[in-house]
């Protein structure tokens, strides 16, 4: 069991990490968001796995429960889903005090969070992330929103939850590939800001991949602490929060040019390797550090190279990324294991060389 406090100037909340927490969701929520009704927003897959259990716990705590699910997947993180969810909430007469609970991965968290931020101009929002990526990344930080045809995450808000309630036992039903994708963000956290976390992952890979219960709690707690600390220092991403984009400018371009055959976490893994290569060429990290990073990703089972489209399409996609400023490519580069910096104006030739390194 672990608890991380997030203290923003205007809002304070707790992140609870506890195996089996979903069974006690009702009693936990009674204290955090007392109301007559509540809505659980989830996707069809997570609903089939956990919906009944969550409903039962909430009903035992005397909530009138609406479980509203939508088709999962990035394509459904959309205004269409949001519109359908508004209808469900309005039809059931959910009130200003009724909490909206996001039960699922990052797609559910982002979509439900946007609904919570805008339904009746904002209702209490509770995150119950069930994917590793959502536990360590998406559910912390208050960014909510949806995709539109023009691009990902272009419509949204900053909306902080009343609490993040993490039941690490849900990771047992998460597909392995999704687990590894979440681990890519954990390695990212270690590289950009927490050398102790990085070594801890190195020392506990077997327990993590074996889903040892206590290890999972500690994995999530260590990552949540790091992310929460960065978010508290820079809620609206005017400075330090940008470091969380390590590997992501490369990563987004790889995802996109692979037509999403390469999943986000896999692309982030490749992106970390590429960014580290650029940093190595600029003399910002040592060869020893570079090898450690690549070795850890490999041991986890994440890719360090892949068959990518060559050259220009990738570079062009990188230039379209929203982190690019005035056409020059800005990258987050490690300066050691546990530290990173934003670097403007990285030379195109260095980026090409890094792309070559990760191409099979
Ligand atoms: N808001 C933020 O700060 C932030 C940060 C990072 C990522 N994101 C967003 O998160 C999304 C990706 O999240 P994700 O990787 O969780 O994807 P996801 O929500 O699509 O979940 C991945 C798959 O796993 C399934 N799943 C989730 N939990 C499960 C469980 N316990 N058992 C069985 N199946 C389970 C889902 O149904 C889905 O099929 C993206 O849309 C991304 O933009 C947001
Ligand atoms: Zn990411």
Residue nearest to atom 34 of ligand 1 (CA): 174
Kindly list the distances between the CA atom of residue 82 and the CA atoms of 41, 145, 321, in Å, as whole numbers in the listed order. Answer: 10, 10, 25
Residue nearest to atom 42 of ligand 1 (CA): 106
- 206-239 pLDDT per residue, tens: 999 999 999 999 999 999 999 999 999 998 888 8
pLDDT score of 325: 61
Q: List, chain by chain if needed, residues with CB within 6 Å of any ligand 1 atom.
A: 43, 45-46, 49, 72-74, 77, 104-108, 110, 130-131, 133-134, 137-138, 141, 143, 153, 170, 173-174, 178, 181
pLDDT score of 15: 98
- 249-267 pLDDT per residue, tens: 999 999 999 999 999 999 9
pLDDT score of 237: 84
| DSSP string for 249-263 | HHHHHHHHHTTTSS-
Query: Is-catalytic flag, 121?
Result: yes
Say whether 195 sits in a helix, a strand or coil: helix
Query: Is-catalytic flag, 185?
Result: yes
Residue nearest to atom 7 of ligand 1 (CA): 138
Neighbours of 313 (CB within 10 A): 13
pLDDT score of 327: 63
Query: Is-catalytic flag, 10?
Result: no
What is the number of the ligand closest to the CA of 265? 2
- 123-162 pLDDT per residue, tens: 999 999 999 999 999 999 999 999 999 888 999 999 999 9
pLDDT score of 238: 83
The model's pTM: 0.96
Ranges of residues in the chain with a pLDDT under 70 are 322-327
265 Cα nearest atom in ligand 1: 15
Choose, from 76, 225, 248, 292, the residue flagged as catalytic: 248
What sign does the dihedral 334-337-200-233 (CA atoms) show? negative
The answer to whether the beta carbons of residues 293 and 276 sit under 8 Å apart is yes
pLDDT score of 236: 86
Residue 260 sits at the vertex; the CA angle it makes with 254 and 262, to the nearest 5 degrees, is: 60
Query: Is-catalytic flag, 152?
Result: no
pLDDT score of 329: 86
Query: Is-catalytic flag, 248?
Result: yes
């Amino acid at each position: 069991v672990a608890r991380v406090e997030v203290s923003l100037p205007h809002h304070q909340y707790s992140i609870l990490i506890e195996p089996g927490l979903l069974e006690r969701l009702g009693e936990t929520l009674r204290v955090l968001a007392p109301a007559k009704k509540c809505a659980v927003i989830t996707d069809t897959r997570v609903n089939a796995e956990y919906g009944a259990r969550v409903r039962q716990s909430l009903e035992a705590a005397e909530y009138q429960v609406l479980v509203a699910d939508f088709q999962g997947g990035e394509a459904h993180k959309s205004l269409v889903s949001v519109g359908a969810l508004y209808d469900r909430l309005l039809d059931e007469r959910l009130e200003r005090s009724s909490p909206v609970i996001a039960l699922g991965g990052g797609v559910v968290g982002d979509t439900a969070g946007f609904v919570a931020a805008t339904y009746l101009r904002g209702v209490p929002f509770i995150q119950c992330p069930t994917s590793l990526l959502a536990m360590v990344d998406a559910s912390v930080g208050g960014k909510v929103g949806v995709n539109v045809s023009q691009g990902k995450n272009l419509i949204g808000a900053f909306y902080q939850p009343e609490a993040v309630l993490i039941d690490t036992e849900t990771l047992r039903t998460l597909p392995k590939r999704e687990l590894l994708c979440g681990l890519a963000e954990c390695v990212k956290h270690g590289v950009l800001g927490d050398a102790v976390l990085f070594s801890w992952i190195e020392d506990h890979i077997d327990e993590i991949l074996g889903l040892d219960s206590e290890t999972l709690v500690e994995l999530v707690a260590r990552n949540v602490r790091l992310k929460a600390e960065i978010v508290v220092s820079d809620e609206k991403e005017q400075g330090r929060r940008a470091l969380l984009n390590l590997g992501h400018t490369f990563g987004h371009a790889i995802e996109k040019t692979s037509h999403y055959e390469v999943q986000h976490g896999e692309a982030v893994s490749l992106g970390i390797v590429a960014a580290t290569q650029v940093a190595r060429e600029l003399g910002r990290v040592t060869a020893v550090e570079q090898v450690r990073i690549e070795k850890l990703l490999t041991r986890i089972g994440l890719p360090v190279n892949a068959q990518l489209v060559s050259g220009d399409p990738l570079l062009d996609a990188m230039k379209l990324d929203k982190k690019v400023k005035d056409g020059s490519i800005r990258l987050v580069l490690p300066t050691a294991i546990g530290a990173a910096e934003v670097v403007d104006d990285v030379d195109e030739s260095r980026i090409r060389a890094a792309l070559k390194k990760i191409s099979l």
